[in-house]
Protein backbone atom coordinates (compact mmCIF):
# COMPACT_ATOMS: atom_id res chain seq x y z
CA UNK A 1 0.00 0.00 0.00
CA UNK A 2 1.24 3.45 -0.82
CA UNK A 3 1.46 6.48 1.43
CA UNK A 4 -1.83 7.85 0.09
CA UNK A 5 -4.68 6.01 1.78
CA UNK A 6 -7.72 5.34 -0.38
CA UNK A 7 -11.33 4.88 0.67
CA UNK A 8 -13.98 3.18 -1.45
CA UNK A 9 -17.69 3.57 -0.71
CA UNK A 10 -19.49 0.64 -2.32
CA UNK A 11 -23.21 1.15 -2.82
CA UNK A 12 -22.61 4.87 -3.24
CA UNK A 13 -25.79 5.37 -5.30
CA UNK A 14 -28.09 4.04 -2.58
CA UNK A 15 -29.85 6.21 -0.04
CA UNK A 16 -27.32 5.77 2.76
CA UNK A 17 -24.42 5.46 0.33
CA UNK A 18 -25.10 8.96 -0.96
CA UNK A 19 -25.22 10.34 2.58
CA UNK A 20 -21.91 8.66 3.39
CA UNK A 21 -20.31 9.97 0.20
CA UNK A 22 -21.42 13.53 0.93
CA UNK A 23 -20.15 13.32 4.51
CA UNK A 24 -16.79 11.97 3.32
CA UNK A 25 -16.38 14.97 1.02
CA UNK A 26 -17.45 17.31 3.83
CA UNK A 27 -14.71 15.78 5.99
CA UNK A 28 -12.11 16.45 3.30
CA UNK A 29 -11.79 12.87 2.09
CA UNK A 30 -11.76 11.93 -1.59
CA UNK A 31 -13.60 8.61 -1.75
CA UNK A 32 -13.77 6.39 -4.79
CA UNK A 33 -17.45 5.72 -5.42
CA UNK A 34 -18.40 2.20 -6.44
CA UNK A 35 -21.45 0.11 -7.20
CA UNK A 36 -23.11 -1.73 -10.07
CA UNK A 37 -24.39 1.14 -12.23
CA UNK A 38 -21.71 3.36 -13.74
CA UNK A 39 -24.18 5.96 -15.03
CA UNK A 40 -25.67 6.50 -11.59
CA UNK A 41 -22.21 6.49 -10.03
CA UNK A 42 -21.10 9.26 -12.37
CA UNK A 43 -24.16 11.31 -11.43
CA UNK A 44 -23.38 11.05 -7.72
CA UNK A 45 -19.68 11.71 -8.28
CA UNK A 46 -20.38 14.78 -10.40
CA UNK A 47 -22.74 16.18 -7.77
CA UNK A 48 -19.95 15.94 -5.19
CA UNK A 49 -17.05 17.05 -7.37
CA UNK A 50 -15.45 13.60 -7.34
CA UNK A 51 -13.64 12.10 -10.30
CA UNK A 52 -13.07 8.37 -9.79
CA UNK A 53 -15.81 5.74 -9.89
CA UNK A 54 -15.63 1.97 -10.28
CA UNK A 55 -18.53 -0.17 -11.46
CA UNK A 56 -18.57 -3.88 -10.65
CA UNK A 57 -21.05 -6.46 -9.37
CA UNK A 58 -20.41 -8.56 -6.29
CA UNK A 59 -21.37 -11.80 -8.06
CA UNK A 60 -18.18 -11.63 -10.16
CA UNK A 61 -15.25 -12.48 -7.83
CA UNK A 62 -12.60 -11.45 -10.34
CA UNK A 63 -14.27 -8.10 -10.93
CA UNK A 64 -14.57 -7.44 -7.20
CA UNK A 65 -10.87 -8.08 -6.63
CA UNK A 66 -9.97 -5.93 -9.61
CA UNK A 67 -12.28 -3.23 -8.27
CA UNK A 68 -10.50 -3.25 -4.92
CA UNK A 69 -7.05 -2.85 -6.47
CA UNK A 70 -5.18 -0.14 -4.60
CA UNK A 71 -7.97 0.39 -2.07
CA UNK A 72 -6.99 0.57 1.60
CA UNK A 73 -10.48 0.56 3.10
CA UNK A 74 -13.92 -0.22 1.74
CA UNK A 75 -17.07 1.08 3.39
CA UNK A 76 -19.74 -1.32 2.18
CA UNK A 77 -23.23 0.21 2.00
CA UNK A 78 -25.02 -2.10 -0.44
CA UNK A 79 -27.37 -4.49 1.30
CA UNK A 80 -29.05 -6.77 1.99
CA UNK A 81 -25.80 -7.86 3.60
CA UNK A 82 -26.97 -11.44 4.00
CA UNK A 83 -26.16 -11.75 0.30
CA UNK A 84 -23.55 -9.01 -0.27
CA UNK A 85 -21.24 -9.21 2.75
CA UNK A 86 -19.45 -12.49 2.02
CA UNK A 87 -18.25 -11.69 -1.53
CA UNK A 88 -16.94 -8.32 -0.37
CA UNK A 89 -15.26 -9.71 2.75
CA UNK A 90 -13.63 -12.53 0.80
CA UNK A 91 -12.29 -10.04 -1.72
CA UNK A 92 -11.00 -7.82 1.08
CA UNK A 93 -9.12 -10.77 2.57
CA UNK A 94 -7.49 -11.45 -0.80
CA UNK A 95 -6.57 -7.81 -1.45
CA UNK A 96 -5.61 -6.77 2.12
CA UNK A 97 -8.39 -4.19 2.21
CA UNK A 98 -9.97 -3.16 5.52
CA UNK A 99 -13.71 -3.88 5.60
CA UNK A 100 -16.41 -1.71 7.15
CA UNK A 101 -20.16 -1.87 6.64
CA UNK A 102 -23.38 -0.37 8.00
CA UNK A 103 -25.45 -3.49 8.63
CA UNK A 104 -27.30 -4.67 11.69
CA UNK A 105 -27.96 -8.14 10.21
CA UNK A 106 -26.79 -10.88 12.58
CA UNK A 107 -25.42 -13.19 9.87
CA UNK A 108 -22.88 -10.60 8.74
CA UNK A 109 -21.41 -10.27 12.23
CA UNK A 110 -21.25 -14.05 12.59
CA UNK A 111 -19.44 -14.21 9.26
CA UNK A 112 -16.89 -11.57 10.26
CA UNK A 113 -16.32 -13.35 13.57
CA UNK A 114 -15.72 -16.63 11.74
CA UNK A 115 -13.18 -14.92 9.45
CA UNK A 116 -11.23 -13.39 12.35
CA UNK A 117 -8.07 -15.52 12.00
CA UNK A 118 -7.92 -15.00 8.25
CA UNK A 119 -8.32 -11.26 8.74
CA UNK A 120 -5.45 -11.18 11.23
CA UNK A 121 -3.29 -13.13 8.79
CA UNK A 122 -4.21 -10.68 6.01
CA UNK A 123 -3.44 -7.71 8.26
CA UNK A 124 -6.92 -6.23 7.91
CA UNK A 125 -9.79 -5.22 10.17
CA UNK A 126 -13.31 -6.55 9.63
CA UNK A 127 -15.85 -4.29 11.32
CA UNK A 128 -19.49 -4.64 10.38
CA UNK A 129 -21.95 -2.23 11.96
CA UNK A 130 -20.23 1.17 11.83
CA UNK A 131 -23.57 2.98 11.61
CA UNK A 132 -26.40 3.43 14.08
CA UNK A 133 -26.38 -0.34 14.03
CA UNK A 134 -24.35 -1.07 16.17
CA UNK A 135 -22.15 1.77 17.44
CA UNK A 136 -24.60 3.35 19.94
CA UNK A 137 -25.90 0.05 21.31
CA UNK A 138 -22.39 -1.36 21.67
CA UNK A 139 -21.35 1.72 23.63
CA UNK A 140 -24.39 1.89 25.91
CA UNK A 141 -24.16 -1.82 26.63
CA UNK A 142 -20.50 -1.49 27.63
CA UNK A 143 -21.24 1.64 29.68
CA UNK A 144 -24.11 0.02 31.56
CA UNK A 145 -22.15 -3.17 32.21
CA UNK A 146 -19.59 -1.13 34.16
CA UNK A 147 -22.33 -0.20 36.64
CA UNK A 148 -22.85 -3.72 38.02
CA UNK A 149 -20.60 -6.39 39.47
CA UNK A 150 -19.90 -9.31 37.13
CA UNK A 151 -22.52 -8.55 34.45
CA UNK A 152 -24.44 -11.66 33.44
CA UNK A 153 -27.09 -10.44 31.02
CA UNK A 154 -27.93 -7.45 28.86
CA UNK A 155 -31.14 -6.48 27.15
CA UNK A 156 -31.04 -3.87 24.39
CA UNK A 157 -34.13 -1.84 23.50
CA UNK A 158 -33.86 0.10 20.23
CA UNK A 159 -36.15 2.85 18.97
CA UNK A 160 -35.59 4.95 15.85
CA UNK A 161 -37.57 8.06 14.92
CA UNK A 162 -37.24 9.76 11.56
CA UNK A 163 -38.27 7.44 8.73
CA UNK A 164 -36.84 4.39 7.01
CA UNK A 165 -35.20 3.73 3.65
CA UNK A 166 -36.18 1.14 1.04
CA UNK A 167 -32.86 -0.61 1.63
CA UNK A 168 -33.52 -0.92 5.35
CA UNK A 169 -36.91 -2.48 4.67
CA UNK A 170 -35.29 -5.02 2.35
CA UNK A 171 -32.71 -5.88 5.01
CA UNK A 172 -35.42 -6.20 7.66
CA UNK A 173 -36.77 -9.24 5.83
CA UNK A 174 -33.49 -11.06 6.46
CA UNK A 175 -33.50 -9.96 10.10
CA UNK A 176 -37.05 -11.25 10.64
CA UNK A 177 -36.10 -14.53 8.93
CA UNK A 178 -33.45 -15.17 11.62
CA UNK A 179 -36.23 -15.58 14.17
CA UNK A 180 -36.01 -14.57 17.83
CA UNK A 181 -32.41 -15.57 18.40
CA UNK A 182 -30.69 -14.77 21.69
CA UNK A 183 -27.35 -15.52 23.32
CA UNK A 184 -27.48 -17.87 26.29
CA UNK A 185 -24.42 -19.00 28.26
CA UNK A 186 -22.26 -17.55 25.51
CA UNK A 187 -23.98 -19.35 22.62
CA UNK A 188 -26.44 -17.97 20.05
CA UNK A 189 -29.62 -20.04 20.12
CA UNK A 190 -33.23 -19.74 19.01
CA UNK A 191 -35.57 -18.45 21.71
CA UNK A 192 -38.40 -20.99 21.82
CA UNK A 193 -40.70 -18.69 23.79
CA UNK A 194 -40.20 -15.10 22.59
CA UNK A 195 -42.14 -12.50 24.55
CA UNK A 196 -43.19 -8.95 23.77
CA UNK A 197 -42.16 -6.37 26.36
CA UNK A 198 -43.30 -2.86 27.24
CA UNK A 199 -40.58 -0.22 27.48
CA UNK A 200 -40.87 3.50 28.16
CA UNK A 201 -38.45 5.72 26.24
CA UNK A 202 -39.94 8.82 27.84
CA UNK A 203 -43.33 9.15 26.14
CA UNK A 204 -45.17 6.18 27.60
CA UNK A 205 -44.83 2.39 27.28
CA UNK A 206 -44.19 0.97 23.82
CA UNK A 207 -44.40 -2.63 22.67
CA UNK A 208 -41.01 -4.16 21.91
CA UNK A 209 -40.44 -7.34 19.91
CA UNK A 210 -37.39 -9.63 20.22
CA UNK A 211 -35.13 -9.51 17.18
CA UNK A 212 -31.90 -11.18 16.05
CA UNK A 213 -29.45 -8.31 15.58
CA UNK A 214 -25.70 -7.89 15.37
CA UNK A 215 -25.53 -6.98 19.05
CA UNK A 216 -25.73 -10.69 19.84
CA UNK A 217 -22.18 -10.84 18.49
CA UNK A 218 -20.78 -7.39 19.28
CA UNK A 219 -21.82 -7.27 22.95
CA UNK A 220 -20.17 -10.66 23.44
CA UNK A 221 -17.03 -9.35 21.74
CA UNK A 222 -17.01 -6.01 23.56
CA UNK A 223 -17.73 -6.99 27.15
CA UNK A 224 -18.30 -10.74 27.28
CA UNK A 225 -21.76 -10.85 28.85
CA UNK A 226 -23.06 -14.41 28.34
CA UNK A 227 -26.80 -13.69 27.98
CA UNK A 228 -27.95 -11.13 25.38
CA UNK A 229 -31.38 -10.11 24.09
CA UNK A 230 -32.26 -7.42 21.55
CA UNK A 231 -35.68 -5.80 21.19
CA UNK A 232 -37.01 -3.36 18.61
CA UNK A 233 -40.21 -1.36 18.63
CA UNK A 234 -42.77 -3.74 17.15
CA UNK A 235 -43.55 -2.74 13.54
CA UNK A 236 -47.02 -1.52 12.64
CA UNK A 237 -48.79 -3.72 10.09
CA UNK A 238 -47.36 -6.38 7.80
CA UNK A 239 -44.07 -5.30 6.22
CA UNK A 240 -44.31 -8.22 3.80
CA UNK A 241 -47.38 -6.59 2.27
CA UNK A 242 -45.56 -3.33 1.56
CA UNK A 243 -44.63 -2.64 -2.07
CA UNK A 244 -41.13 -1.31 -1.51
CA UNK A 245 -40.92 0.30 -4.94
CA UNK A 246 -43.91 2.49 -4.07
CA UNK A 247 -42.06 4.01 -1.11
CA UNK A 248 -39.75 7.04 -1.24
CA UNK A 249 -36.04 6.22 -1.35
CA UNK A 250 -35.72 7.29 2.26
CA UNK A 251 -36.51 10.06 4.73
CA UNK A 252 -36.21 13.66 3.57
CA UNK A 253 -33.52 15.90 5.03
CA UNK A 254 -36.15 17.56 7.21
CA UNK A 255 -37.34 14.19 8.49
CA UNK A 256 -33.78 13.14 9.26
CA UNK A 257 -33.03 16.40 11.03
CA UNK A 258 -36.20 16.18 13.12
CA UNK A 259 -35.67 12.54 14.06
CA UNK A 260 -33.87 11.07 17.01
CA UNK A 261 -32.93 7.55 18.05
CA UNK A 262 -32.60 5.91 21.43
CA UNK A 263 -31.13 2.72 22.83
CA UNK A 264 -31.70 1.54 26.39
CA UNK A 265 -29.41 -1.12 27.85
CA UNK A 266 -30.50 -3.08 30.91
CA UNK A 267 -27.72 -5.09 32.53
CA UNK A 268 -28.11 -7.57 35.39
CA UNK A 269 -25.16 -8.47 37.60
CA UNK A 270 -24.33 -11.77 39.25
CA UNK A 271 -25.84 -10.51 42.53
CA UNK A 272 -29.14 -9.65 40.83
CA UNK A 273 -28.54 -5.90 40.74
CA UNK A 274 -29.89 -4.15 37.64
CA UNK A 275 -28.57 -1.02 35.90
CA UNK A 276 -30.27 0.82 33.05
CA UNK A 277 -28.77 3.53 30.84
CA UNK A 278 -29.84 5.19 27.60
CA UNK A 279 -28.03 6.75 24.67
CA UNK A 280 -29.89 9.29 22.54
CA UNK A 281 -28.56 10.24 19.12
CA UNK A 282 -29.60 12.05 15.95
CA UNK A 283 -31.78 10.01 13.56
CA UNK A 284 -30.30 6.71 12.43
CA UNK A 285 -29.40 7.82 8.89
CA UNK A 286 -27.88 11.10 10.01
CA UNK A 287 -25.92 9.24 12.67
CA UNK A 288 -24.75 6.55 10.26
CA UNK A 289 -23.42 9.07 7.75
CA UNK A 290 -21.29 10.63 10.50
CA UNK A 291 -20.17 7.52 12.36
CA UNK A 292 -19.38 5.51 9.24
CA UNK A 293 -17.04 8.18 7.91
CA UNK A 294 -15.54 8.74 11.37
CA UNK A 295 -14.49 5.09 11.52
CA UNK A 296 -13.27 5.16 7.92
CA UNK A 297 -11.15 8.23 8.67
CA UNK A 298 -9.61 6.49 11.67
CA UNK A 299 -8.78 3.43 9.58
CA UNK A 300 -7.15 5.58 6.90
CA UNK A 301 -5.08 7.23 9.65
CA UNK A 302 -3.83 3.80 10.76
CA UNK A 303 -5.99 3.72 13.90
CA UNK A 304 -7.29 0.14 13.82
CA UNK A 305 -6.93 -3.38 15.15
CA UNK A 306 -6.66 -6.35 12.84
CA UNK A 307 -9.16 -9.20 12.80
CA UNK A 308 -12.85 -9.06 13.56
CA UNK A 309 -13.59 -6.07 15.77
CA UNK A 310 -16.63 -4.47 17.33
CA UNK A 311 -16.82 -0.69 17.68
CA UNK A 312 -15.98 -0.90 21.39
CA UNK A 313 -13.22 -3.50 21.03
CA UNK A 314 -11.40 -1.27 18.54
CA UNK A 315 -12.26 2.24 19.69
CA UNK A 316 -13.88 2.10 23.11
CA UNK A 317 -17.33 3.42 24.09
CA UNK A 318 -16.49 7.08 23.41
CA UNK A 319 -16.67 6.46 19.65
CA UNK A 320 -20.46 6.59 19.94
CA UNK A 321 -20.30 10.12 21.34
CA UNK A 322 -18.09 11.40 18.51
CA UNK A 323 -21.29 12.18 16.60
CA UNK A 324 -22.61 15.56 17.72
CA UNK A 325 -25.77 15.66 19.83
CA UNK A 326 -25.29 12.15 21.16
CA UNK A 327 -25.70 11.79 24.92
CA UNK A 328 -25.73 9.06 27.57
CA UNK A 329 -27.89 9.17 30.69
CA UNK A 330 -28.16 6.67 33.53
CA UNK A 331 -31.76 5.77 34.32
Spatial CA neighbour of 138 closest among 291, 306, 298, 303: 291
Q: For the chain, where do the domains classified as CATH 3.40.50.720 start and end?
A: 7-128+287-313
Q: Is the predicted pLDDT of residue 139 greater than 70, yes or no?
A: yes
* Mean of pLDDT values over 90-107: 98
Of the candidates 151, 143, 209, which has an alpha carbon nearest to the alpha carbon of residue 182?
209
Report pLDDT for 167. Answer: 56
According to CATH, the topology of domain 134-284+321-330 is: Dihydrodipicolinate Reductase; domain 2 (3.30.360)
Does residue 193 have a pLDDT over 70? yes
pLDDT above 80: residue 53: yes
DSSP one-letter string for 175-193: HHHT-SEEEETTEEEE-SS
For residue 3, is pLDDT > 60? Answer: no
Which residues make up the CATH 3.30.360.10 domain(s) of the chain?
A: 134-284+321-330
The average confidence (pLDDT) of the chain is 92
Output the pLDDT for position 241.
55
Instruction: Determine the pLDDT at residue 219.
Output: 99
pTM given for the model: 0.93
Supply φ then ψ for residue 157, to 5 degrees. -125, 115
Res 319: pLDDT: 99
CATH homologous superfamily of domain 7-128+287-313? NAD(P)-binding Rossmann-like Domain (3.40.50.720)
Using CA atoms, how far apart are residues 266 and 27, in angstroms rounded to an integer?
35
Percentage of the residues of the chain whose pLDDT score is greater than 90: 83
Which pLDDT score, from 0 to 100, does residue 243 have?
Answer: 57
Among the ranges given (58-67, 173-182, 284-293), the one the predictor scored with the smallest mean pLDDT: 173-182
| Residue 2 predicted with pLDDT over 50 | no
**What pLDDT does residue 170 have?**
53
Amino acid sequence: MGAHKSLMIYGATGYTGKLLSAEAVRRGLVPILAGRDNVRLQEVANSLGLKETRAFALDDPTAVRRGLDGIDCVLHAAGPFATTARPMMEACLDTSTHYLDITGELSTFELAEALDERAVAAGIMLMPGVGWDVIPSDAIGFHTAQRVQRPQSVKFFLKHFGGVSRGSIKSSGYIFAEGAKVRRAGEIVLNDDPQLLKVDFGAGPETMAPMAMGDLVTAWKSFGVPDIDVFLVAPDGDLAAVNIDDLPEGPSADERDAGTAKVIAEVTGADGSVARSMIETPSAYSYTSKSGIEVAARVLAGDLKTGFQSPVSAYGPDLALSVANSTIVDL
